[in-house]
Structure 1
Amino acid sequence: MQSRYVTIHAHPEGTPERELFALESAELPALAEGEVRVRNTWLSVDPYMRGRMSGVATYIEPFTLGAPLEGAAIGEIIESRAEAFPTGTKVRHMGGWRDVAQLPAERVERLPAFDVPEQAYLGVLGMPGMTAWAGLNRIAEMKEGDNVLVSGAAGAVGSLAVQLAKAKGGTVVGIAGTQDKLDWLEAHGVKAVSYKGKDTAQLTAALNEACPEGFDVYYENVGGTCLEAALNTLRVGARIAVCGMISRYNAEAPSAGPGNLAMILIRRARMEGFIVFDHWAHYPEFLEEVGPQVAAGRLDYEETVVEGLEQTPGAFLQLFEGGNRGKMLVRL
């Protein structure tokens, strides 16, 4: 059987060009004992993948040039030599960016049994949802009545973070760019602030207007001006959960750090970065809390769906242009 896959043959500098990505194919070997073959139905593209394209190991190994790129995917087992995963089983795994994946059975997991569309396990009930939950609860230790600020607030992670924060009863403010994203936030009871065309002073003023009392929690997805403005609006004892800094992912040279980092001292704040995989042992706890809310329609989530394996690189690049609302997905 042939597997078609997306790969790269060079490390990008700055924002990757579409031409960097190649669609190739390879003959799959016969299944070994303990392996499964999965026909993928949904692929995830995520900002963290940009770091894996740089050829440098960080908290995760870089992609191998010429090999299939990797990412979360959902599919159906079409051939199996693993008793626990018979043909027809729906699974989640990390063999994305391809149409057919062949993996050891220990690298796939059955989909949970909530009454939700299967692709939800790549978004609101997958890594992005777990990231939002872990950042707020395990890193920022969000409490009832906390005022919460979220940057990238209409993305896959931010859109769940603002809703989880709203349930705690405090003022929630979301930073976003496009008008449709701002409208989505306002429709969900979140005070929306645009970062477009604003320097640090202007964004600080807009945040102060939205929440004059200041913020107990800042959920950081963006960095840059958003981080500087957020530091200016912290309350004493604030906690900052650093999930990502997408504004820097395609930078070709080191960028200056926040010029007002002293606000962490002045506000006696705590700022902590985290990687969701370090907290994955708590995924069942997340599912128990959030899964029923999603199944019952009490938590809203957005998806931006692109069709076809060939469009996967374009879907990935849209993440850096604000081209997604909620989770960016590729349907095969």
Structure 2
Amino acid sequence: MIKIGNIELPEFPLLLAPMEDVSDPPFRKLCKMHGADMMYSEFISSEGLIRDAMKSMKKLDIFDYERPVGIQIFGGDEEAMSLSAKIVEAVNPDIVDINFGCPVKKVVCKGAGAGVLKDVDLMIRLTKAVVNSTHLPVTVKTRLGWDTESINIMEVAERLQEVGVKALTIHARTRAQMYKGEADWNYIHAVKNNPNIEIPIFGNGDIDSAQKAWEYKNKFDCDGIMIGRGAIGYPWIFNEVKHFFKTGEILPEPTITQRLEAVRQHAEWSKDWKGERLGLIEMRQHYSNYFRGIPHFKDFRRKFLEVFTLEEMDGVIAEADAFYKDFEFVN
């Protein structure tokens, strides 16, 4: 069993990464259904929360079926981070997470996300401000460093632990890498095996199959894995990993019918959360991901993009299901 403060997780938990415009309640529900042990919200601007910005406040929505669930905040100002932690605490998540890893320019330019990697003292002050403002366990997600010349994850891990962080997720790339190149999990292994580190260390980066999860678990000795892009359009990855860990067997990929069912569920939950029209409009980014590599999906994608009601979607789903039942797949 892994503990984050008073939160109990199974041995070697699988976490869904906080991803902007992806890790919303409908997607989190789907990942929970398919085996994710813990979820995080999309990252939320501390400044946005303080201003009561509608988009930021909407991201605070969490539901009991998701638990344990963490809400992730980011920012570069101690007072704003402290106040936002109090706002987050009011909606009663299980964990408050701090984003020190987002490499996107609009975040970094504000001295937040991965921008804080340039100033470890500031990172610690921001973290301390959050820890001191909430009774909830505080966790952090970060990267190895700003670039290959300034990898400082060992120092960062020790100092975050000293100020009260209860778990650390490390995306094994630098900010300069963005999402390119290969993630270097050797640094995760080094942090985990540092005798001064007692908190759980979770690894993140490049996990896109059950076999790779198994390989990295055994090779790099982390306490659990956070999966991000590998789950986009493929929530089945969590159960596939768990099944492989338990049996050594690779589960068959989801059928077209199962993919269509997942799209329908995702869309229905999006409708319930944001209303039918907006919910279906926001679903548009997901269709290609659910059917990545499926031949002849382009025509159906166009039809999905034109739907504004679940009734219209059901028509496209029925048409696609019928087409692929007669379609002969050649390996």
| TM-score > 0.5, shorter chain as reference | no
Higher relative contact order (CA 8 A, sep 6+): 1
Greater share of helix: 2
TM-score (norm 1): 0.28
TM-score (norm 2): 0.28
